[in-house]
A and B are shown apart, each in its own frame.
Chain A
C-alpha cells in the first residue's frame, strides 16, 4: 500500500517539496493543483485532504468560496471578459454578449468541442484601456464588438 495516502498518487508529488503541509497551505496547494491539472478533481481533493488532514467537506467548503477554483475540466482556450467598473461603463457587457453569441455558450460554460471557455472577470487592472478581455495569457485592450468578433474568428480559422 505504499504511497496510498501520499500525494504522489495523483502526480502531485512535487507539492510535497513546495509546501510544508500546514493548514495555511490549503489555498496555495489547491491553486497549484489547479495549475497542474487544470481543475480540482475529486481524487485530488481526496489526496489533499489526507495530506493536510482537513476533511474533504471542509476543502470543498473553502474551494467553493473562491471564484478561482473550477470543478470541471477547462476548455483548451480561455476567454475572460472584464466586467469591472471601467469596462462596464465602456461597454464590456456588449463584448460579453458578442462573445456568447460567437462561441454559442453562456458565461461560465465551455464550447461542446471543448475548445473555448467563456468567463467574466472582475478587473484585470488595465482599466485605463477599457474595455478589456484576456484571451489565454494575452490581454487585449480597447475592445469593441467588432474587435472581439475578429479575434475569435481569426483564432477559430487558424
Chain B
C-alpha cells in the first residue's frame, strides 16, 4: 500500500468513526484494560450482553483502554443514538440492570454511578467527564486515544490521524526529522531524560550496514504502569513512533522488549503488528517509500536490571541480563555490536504527535529545559489513583492534591523515580516536576511512578522495601552493588526490628555514597537514593525506631502489638473465626483474649473488626 492508498483507507475509517459518533444503535463502552479487568470489567460486560440479548436490543459493545482514573474502574459508558457518551463508574455487575433499564425502558439518563458525559456541549445537567477534578488539570497528548478508541481497530486509530505523522516523516529527509525532534525539546521518558535527538544523531552518524531500534517496554519500576496503559490503549501510537525513529536513525530491524507480566499489552501489540503488515506499514518499501523496517517482540523473563539498556541488549542476544560498562554506548555499539537506539515506550509514543502538530506546538507545554508532557502513575495512599498526563513543570502539590485529591490520613511523602528515586517530604510539595528540580531535591524523574504515602506508612520500612528490591534484583556483577546493598538492607532490618543504633545511620549514609560512586550501572548507582533521601528528610522517624523502639506509623512488625480493648469488645467471635493461628479465644458475648505468643500480626482480626463494625475498633494495633 502506498501513501495514497492509506489515505483512502483513512477516509473510509473516518466515515466509520463518524458513524460511531452519530450512532444509530446504542453503544456500550467497557474500560477493558488490565486495571478495568482486575476491577471486574469482564463480569460487567457479561451482564450487559445478557441484558441486550434478553431484551432483543440491537446494541454494540466496544472495549476500550484505560482512560486514566483507575480508582473509578470498572467504567462503563452508554451512548444512545443522537446522545453523548455517558460514563458510569465503579459499576458492579448488580448495578448494570438498573442503568440499562433507565436508558432502555424509561428513556432516561441513569443517575446512579453517573460519572460524566463526553460531549462538548451542555447535556441535561450531566457534568462533563473531563471536567472531573482528576482530569481537568491534565493535558492529554500521548494518552489522547486511550480509553477513547478501540485499540484493536486500526480504523479507529487511522480516523484519529494515526500514521499521519509517519507520512509526514517519510516526505522529509532524516536530517529534517531530526531537526524537528531537536526543536521539540523531547527528552527520554525512560528515566534519564537524555535529549532524544542527540542519541539518534550519534547512532545515525556511526557508519554501519545495520542499525537497530529497540522499544523499551520492560517497565520494571514496581508501582508504575504508564507504558502498559499506553500500549493497551493505543498500541499503534507506539508502533508509529518506532517507524519514525527507525526512519530517522536508519534502522531496518526493531525489537520491542516487553515484560511477560503484561499479557494483554503483548496481545494488543501482536495484533497491531499483523494489521500493520496488512496495509504495508511494515516490511519492504513502507508506503511505497524506500524505507524498510520490521519489528519483533521479545518477552522479558523477570529481571529488573534488564530495563537497563546494555543488560536489555544482552537479554535479547539470549544471554544473562548483565549490564556492561559504557562507553561504548549502544548508539555506537549495541545489539550484535551494531549501532542501536533504545527508547522508552512513551518517548516513542510521543513522536507521532510531534511530527503531526509540529515541534513548536509540543514545546509549548512544559518548562525551559523540560518540554512537553509526561505521564505518571499516581498510586499509593492518594484518594484518586490512576494514570495521568500533565505538562512538565506542574508542582507535586498540584498533582497530589488537585489531581489526586490528597490523602486520607495526613500526607507524609511522595516517592518519584521508583527504586532509583527519592522520598520527598511535605516541604518539597511546591517543587515543579521536571528533570532538574527533582534531581536538585535528591530524587529523579524516573519513568513516571509517583507513590504517595501518608502517616500510616513507615518511612524506614519503605526504605527497607526499596533496598530489598534492588538488592534482590542486583545482577551481582559488581561488588559495591551486590555486597553494599545487602549491608544496607541488613542495617535497615536491624532498625525496623528495634535493634538499631544511632551509629547505623552514619553507616547507611557512608555505604550509600560508596555504592553510588562505585557501581557499574544505573541500578547500583541509584539504589541508595530512597534510603538516603529518607534519612535526610525523615531522620526523626529513624531515631524513634532506634531510641524509643517505636514505629510511629505502627507498621514495623517487631515494634507493634495487637490488643483487644476489653470495654469495646462485644464478643461477636468474628475475629476468632478469621484468626489463622488461633491466637484469639473467648466465649461468645464476652471480651476475647489475644495470646501474643501465637499472634503473627497478620491483621485479619483488625480488619474484620472494622469491617463488621459490631465491635468497631475493639482491636487496636499499637507501638
Residues of A within 8 A of B (CB): 22-28, 30-31, 54, 61-62, 65-69, 83-91, 94, 97-98, 101-102, 121-130, 132, 137, 139-142, 144-146, 149
Give bound CA distance, A123 to B70, whole Å. Answer: 16
Q: A127-B379, A128-B386, A149-B578 are in contact. Are A140 and B320 (CB under 8 A)?
A: no
Q: Which of B30-38, B92-100, B103-111, B143-151 contacts A (4 or more CB under 8 A)?
A: B30-38
Indicate if the CB atoms of A66 and B303 lie closer than 8 Å. yes
Which residue of the partner chain B has the closest CB to A24? Answer: B318
Q: Which of B438-493 contact A (CB under 8 A)?
A: 449, 451, 453, 457, 462, 465-466, 469, 475
Q: A23-B318, A122-B304, A129-B73 are in contact. Are A28 and B298 (CB under 8 A)?
A: yes
Sorted nearest first, the 10 A-B pairs with minimum C-beta distance are A84-B222, A128-B70, A85-B223, A67-B302, A66-B301, A26-B318, A123-B222, A101-B580, A128-B385, A139-B38
Q: A125-B34, A141-B38 are in contact. Are A62 and B260 (CB under 8 A)?
A: no
Give bound CA distance, A1 to B452, whole Å. Answer: 63
Closest chain-A Cβ to B510's Cβ sits at a distance in Å of 26
Q: Which residues of B contact A94 (CB under 8 A)?
A: 602-603
Which residue of the partner chain B has the closest CB to A127? Answer: B379
Q: Which of B2-10, B234-242, B391-399, B604-612 contacts A (4 or more CB under 8 A)?
A: B604-612
Closest chain-A Cβ to B6's Cβ sits at a distance in Å of 31
Q: Which residues of A contact B315 (CB under 8 A)?
A: 27
Closest chain-A Cβ to B509's Cβ sits at a distance in Å of 23
Q: Is B200 an interface residue (CB 8 A)?
A: no
Most buried by B among A94, A127, A132, A139: A127
Which residue of the partner chain A has the closest CB to B304? Answer: A122
Indicate if the CB atoms of B381 and A90 lie closer than 8 Å. yes
Q: Is B332 an interface residue (CB 8 A)?
A: no
Q: Which residues of B contact A149 (CB under 8 A)?
A: 578, 604
Closest chain-B Cβ to A150's Cβ sits at a distance in Å of 10
Q: Is B250 an interface residue (CB 8 A)?
A: no
Which residue of the partner chain B has the closest CB to A26? Answer: B318
Indicate if the CB atoms of A144 and B607 lie closer than 8 Å. yes
Closest chain-A Cβ to B100's Cβ sits at a distance in Å of 24
- Interface residues on chain B, number (Cβ under 8 Å): 64
Q: Which residues of B contact A140 (CB under 8 A)?
A: 38
Residue pairs across A and B with Cβ atoms less than 8 A apart, 30 shown, are A25-B318, A27-B301, A31-B260, A62-B320, A68-B260, A68-B302, A85-B466, A85-B469, A87-B222, A88-B462, A89-B453, A97-B602, A98-B604, A122-B261, A122-B302, A123-B221, A123-B223, A124-B38, A125-B219, A127-B223, A127-B385, A128-B70, A128-B379, A129-B71, A130-B379, A132-B38, A144-B611, A146-B607, A146-B611, A149-B578
Give bound CA distance, A23 to B336, whole Å. Answer: 11
Q: Which residues of B contact A88 (CB under 8 A)?
A: 462, 465
Residues of B within 8 A of A (CB): 34-35, 37-39, 70-71, 73, 219-225, 228-229, 260-263, 298-299, 301-304, 315-321, 377-381, 385-387, 415, 418-419, 449, 451, 453, 457, 462, 465-466, 469, 475, 578, 580-581, 600, 602-604, 607-608, 611
Q: Which residues of B contact A26 (CB under 8 A)?
A: 318
Indicate if the CB atoms of B581 and A129 lie closer than 8 Å. no
Closest chain-A Cβ to B7's Cβ sits at a distance in Å of 36
Indicate if the CB atoms of B380 and A86 lie closer than 8 Å. yes
Give bound CA distance, A98 to B219, whole Å. Answer: 28
Give bound CA distance, A66 to B298, whole Å. Answer: 14
Q: Which residues of A contact B386 (CB under 8 A)?
A: 128
Known: A89-B457, A94-B603, A122-B302. 19 other contacts (CB 8 A): A24-B316, A24-B318, A62-B319, A65-B321, A66-B321, A68-B302, A83-B222, A86-B380, A86-B451, A91-B603, A97-B600, A98-B580, A123-B222, A124-B38, A124-B261, A126-B34, A129-B39, A130-B380, A139-B34
Give bound CA distance, A90 to B71, whole Å. Answer: 14
Q: Which residues of A contact B318 (CB under 8 A)?
A: 22-27, 54, 62
Which residue of the partner chain B has the closest CB to A91? Answer: B603
Which residue of the partner chain B has the closest CB to A145? Answer: B604
Which residue of the partner chain A has the closest CB to B72? Answer: A128
Give bound CA distance, A124 to B387, whole Å. Answer: 15
A89 contact from B38, B378, B451, Cβ within 8 A: B451
Give bound CA distance, A58 to B304, whole Å. Answer: 21
Give bound CA distance, A125 to B379, whole Å. Answer: 11
Indicate if the CB atoms of B228 and A125 lie closer than 8 Å. yes
Give bound CA distance, A84 to B418, whole Å. Answer: 10
Give bound CA distance, A118 to B408, whole Å. Answer: 32
Closest chain-A Cβ to B73's Cβ sits at a distance in Å of 7
Q: A27-B301, A123-B261 are in contact. Are A86 and B317 (CB under 8 A)?
A: no
Indicate if the CB atoms of A125 and B261 lie closer than 8 Å. yes
Q: Which residues of B contact A61 (CB under 8 A)?
A: 320
Give bound CA distance, A25 to B223, whole Å. Answer: 30
Give bound CA distance, A67 to B71, whole Å. Answer: 30
Closest chain-A Cβ to B381's Cβ sits at a distance in Å of 7
Closest chain-A Cβ to B241's Cβ sits at a distance in Å of 20
Closest chain-A Cβ to B477's Cβ sits at a distance in Å of 11
Closest chain-B Cβ to A4's Cβ sits at a distance in Å of 24
Closest chain-B Cβ to A103's Cβ sits at a distance in Å of 11
Indicate if the CB atoms of B223 and A84 lie closer than 8 Å. yes
Indicate if the CB atoms of A127 and B303 lie closer than 8 Å. no
Q: Which residues of A contact B578 (CB under 8 A)?
A: 145-146, 149
Most buried by A among B222, B228, B451, B475: B222
Q: Which residues of B contact A90 (CB under 8 A)?
A: 380-381
Indicate if the CB atoms of A85 and B465 lie closer than 8 Å. yes
Q: Which residues of A contact B260 (CB under 8 A)?
A: 31, 68
Q: Which residues of B contact A129 (CB under 8 A)?
A: 35, 38-39, 70-71, 73, 385
Q: Which residues of B contact A97 (CB under 8 A)?
A: 600, 602
Give bound CA distance, A91 to B376, whole Å. Answer: 22
Indicate if the CB atoms of B581 and A89 lie closer than 8 Å. no
Closest chain-B Cβ to A153's Cβ sits at a distance in Å of 11
Most buried by B among A68, A84, A90, A97: A84
Which residue of the partner chain A has the closest CB to B603? Answer: A94
Which residue of the partner chain A has the closest CB to B37? Answer: A139
Which residue of the partner chain A has the closest CB to B263? Answer: A137
Indicate if the CB atoms of B301 and A145 lie closer than 8 Å. no
Indicate if the CB atoms of B261 and A67 lie closer than 8 Å. no
Indicate if the CB atoms of A125 and B602 lie closer than 8 Å. no
Q: Which residues of A contact B221 (CB under 8 A)?
A: 85, 123
Q: A66-B303, A98-B602, A123-B223 are in contact. Are A85 and B38 (CB under 8 A)?
A: no
Closest chain-B Cβ to A138's Cβ sits at a distance in Å of 8
Q: Which residues of A contact B380 (CB under 8 A)?
A: 85-86, 89-90, 130
Indicate if the CB atoms of B415 and A85 lie closer than 8 Å. yes
Which residue of the partner chain B has the closest CB to A61? Answer: B320
Which residue of the partner chain A has the closest CB to B612? Answer: A146
